[in-house]
Amino acid sequence: MSVQEQLVDNFSRVVNYVRISVTDRCDFRCIYCMDDEMKFIPRAQLLTLEEIARIGKAFTELGVNKIRITGGEPLIRRNIIKLFNDLGALPGLKELVTTTNGSQLEAMAQQLKDAGVKRLNISLDSLDANKFKRITRVGDLNKVLDGIDTALAVGFKKIKINAVILKNRNHDEVVDLVNYVIDKGIDISFIEEMPLGVIGDHDRAEAYYSSDEIRRDLESSFELIPTTETTAGPSKYYKLTGHNTRVGFISPHSHNFCDQCNRVRLTCEGRLLLCLGQEHSVDLRKVVRAHPDNDEALKQAIRDAMSIKPKGHDFNLNEKPIIFRHMNVTGG
């Protein structure tokens, strides 16, 4: 039996997880993610769905066993279900998952399930339609709530809500959001805002609400029990006494998680980013287009990229962003 190859970086971290942004476009304009007036990447510069599938396959042959499809809003890319079907059929892949704002789930949840998607992360920052609209600038809360119900109805067992908590926008809703996920039998992660891209009308330092403050707020209503569980990711998880729901905290500012990083990201233009908070990258679009019939060249480019994966990020909300990519380009 051949030994499965692994991707290992200079700090002995094994990379077995890839997040792929399939589009920078979105039907929402969340205040922490996008500027009011965004310029999107011309469609001709995007990787085709076939190119993305090819890169996904190369990664699985190098030991990657988890792929997350994200964006922008992944479910608004035309024919995206074909990509889910192609990736879902890869023998080396244990987990195909996606992150979505939920707006298209009513129509697409069943097709995602059929393609072999195992878990859904659905973003939901508020249960109040007006606040939801203020945060997403254009989003319709009821559409998202219906999407979540459809995903549950078609049999998704593992659903996690992602909520970015901002002071004076939605910080007073953390208990309501936890009661909502308890009621639905799903999990939630609270995310601290990260300084990705310049956003004209939003002051990130002023809106900062730390994971410790959220936990303190929750402790007035729930008993939180720390778990030792790790997803080799940035979330710290807690159980709630008397419930199955898990509550996670993604804290890039208050808790650095880089030493356990197991992931890399592919932008919708084909840039392989070795760290969310740094610009080290390799242009895989150039490689797939230069070698249309040779996956070995692609795999070698991926192996070589591991040597430039940086030790960690260096986010600081009080300084001007050092990362000019918005989150929708990077893929959250």
Choices 23-31, 189-197, 216-224, 266-274; region in contact with ligand SF4 by CB under 6 A: 23-31
Residue 197 binding ligand SF4, by CB under 6 A? no
Residue 72 binding ligand SF4, by CB under 6 A? yes
Nearest distance in Å: CB 289, ligand SAM? 26
Burial class (CB in 10 A: 0-12, 13-18, 19+), 262: middle
Nearest distance in Å: CB 220, ligand SAM? 25
Largest CA distance in the chain: 59
Residue 164 binding ligand SAM, by CB under 6 A? yes
Nearest distance in Å: CB 299, ligand SAM? 27
- The per-residue DSSP string of 70-139 comes to ESS-GGGSTTHHHHHHHHHT-TT-SEEEEEE-STTHHHHHHHHHHHT--EEEEE---SSHHHHHHHHSS-
Nearer to ligand SF4, 15 or 145 (CB): 145
d(CA 79, CA 88): 15
d(CA 154, CA 264): 31
Given candidates 23, 98, 328, 330, which one binds ligand SF4 under the rule CB under 6 A?
A: 328
Nearer to ligand SAM, 27 or 295 (CB): 27
Given candidates 61, 187, 193, 217, which one binds ligand SAM under the rule CB under 6 A?
A: 193
Question: Residue 66: helix, strand or coil by DSSP?
Answer: strand
Nearer to ligand SF4, 101 or 278 (CB): 101
The answer to whether residues 26 and 328 touch, using CB atoms and an 8 Å cutoff, is yes
How many other CB atoms sit within 10 Å of the CB of residue 307? 10
The answer to whether residues 124 and 148 touch, using CB atoms and an 8 Å cutoff, is yes
291: its two tokens: 């070698």
Residue 109 binding ligand SAM, by CB under 6 A? no
Name the binder of 194 from ligand SF4, ligand SAM, none, CB < 5-8 A by kind.
ligand SAM
- The binding site for ligand SAM (CB under 6 A) comprises 26, 32-33, 70-71, 73, 99-101, 123, 162, 164, 191, 193-194, 196, 327-328, 332
